């Protein structure tokens, strides 16, 4: 844990690092009078705390921030990337093993998308990995229906504006065609809400399958559907603690996708369908 004896850190950051909530949630909790430091309720989210400060939420002392950890999770379709759903639809957290500590998502995948999700117990790590400025490329395999003009895919490298929303550089490469369907590898750094689906629709294509196969240096690989695997502390440190990576240009040639790096057809994923769907948290 960092030495905070002299300068301290903001209460919102402490709660986020401890995996209790996001910084934004912490600010709301402070405004609602739920947070106390050394026995006194606080009213300012800029309140500083040190290693010696006793922080409570609703009267319960929070634990010291644990060592940051990171997991890979293969999210199936039909599962929401949220903590809870008012319509009581299944969420990622319903599917996680019961022995997993409290975790939060690094980014999101919509309900009809599948593939790699990163999970962490550290809110500050999640925040860092989500920022476009970190420079990590997110790569997807996309199956789309409709007539495909490869020159229009190439033009996405210059960015595109759809319905008033500006999307940054996107690299999209046609892998193969099968009837009226095309498999496309898409790489981007930002990942706005439903970005790939909206951009493809603008090009006259209907996405009927979307699989995230990598997030920065971390790969989906052969991780079975609905399965969680922890990333070793050594690899996590190597990939996240040595400064902030310089953003890479997506238009630069990416290394070719290796066999097993990500599914190219529906069939390989069917073998493990709902394998661990009985798990609830």
Whole-angstrom Cα distance, residue 220 to residue 117?
9
Which contacts (CB < 8 Å, 24+ apart) does range 159-162 have? 160/199, 160/202, 162/198, 162/199, 162/202
Euclidean distance between CA atoms 96 and 80, whole angstroms: 13
Name 13's Cβ contacts closer than 8 Å, sequence gap at least 6: 23, 124
Beta bridge partners of 83: none
Token pair for residue 58?
Answer: 């609703």
- The CA distance from 136 to 218, in Å, is 10
Q: Is 231 helix (H, G, I), strand (E, B) or coil?
A: strand
Active site residue 5: no
Q: Which residues are registered as beta bridge partners of 219?
A: 214
Structure tokens at 51: 């290693």
| Closest alpha carbon to 219 in 100, 132, 138, 114 | 138
Which strands form 60-61's sheet, in the order they lie side by side?
40-41, 35-37, 55-57, 60-61
Q: Which of 38, 88, 110, 158 is catalytic?
A: 110
Residue linked to tokens 């903590």: 83
Rg over alpha carbons for the chain, rounded to the nearest Å, is 21
Task: List residues with catalytic annotation.
Answer: 110
């Amino acid at each position: 844990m960092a030495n905070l004896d002299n300068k301290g850190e903001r209460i919102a950051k402490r709660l986020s690092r401890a995996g209790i909530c996001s910084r934004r949630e912490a600010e709301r909790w402070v405004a609602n009078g739920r947070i106390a430091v050394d026995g006194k309720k606080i009213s300012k989210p800029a309140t500083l705390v040190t290693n010696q400060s006793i922080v409570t939420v609703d009267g319960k002392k929070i634990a010291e921030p644990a060592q940051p950890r990171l997991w890979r999770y293969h999210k199936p379709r039909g599962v929401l990337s949220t903590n809870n759903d008012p319509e009581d639809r299944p969420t990622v957290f319903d599917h996680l093993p019961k022995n997993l500590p409290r975790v939060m998502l690094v980014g999101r995948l919509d309900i009809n998308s599948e593939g790699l999700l990163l999970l962490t117990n550290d809110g500050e790590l999640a925040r860092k990995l989500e920022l476009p400025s970190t420079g990590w490329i997110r790569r997807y395999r996309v199956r789309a229906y409709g007539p495909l003009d490869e020159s229009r895919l190439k033009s996405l490298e210059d960015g595109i504006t759809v319905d008033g929303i500006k999307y940054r550089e996107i690299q999209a490469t046609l892998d193969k065609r099968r009837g009226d369907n095309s498999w496309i590898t898409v790489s981007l750094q930002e990942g706005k809400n439903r970005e790939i689906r909206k951009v493809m629709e603008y090009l006259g294509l209907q996405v009927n399958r979307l699989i995230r196969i990598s997030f920065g240096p971390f790969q989906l690989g052969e991780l079975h559907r609905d399965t969680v695997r922890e990333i070793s502390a050594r690899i996590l440190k190597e990939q996240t603690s040595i400064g902030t990576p310089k953003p890479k240009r997506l238009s630069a040639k990416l290394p070719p996708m290796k066999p097993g790096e990500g599914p190219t057809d529906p069939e390989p994923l069917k073998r493990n369908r709902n394998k661990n769907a009985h798990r609830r948290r």
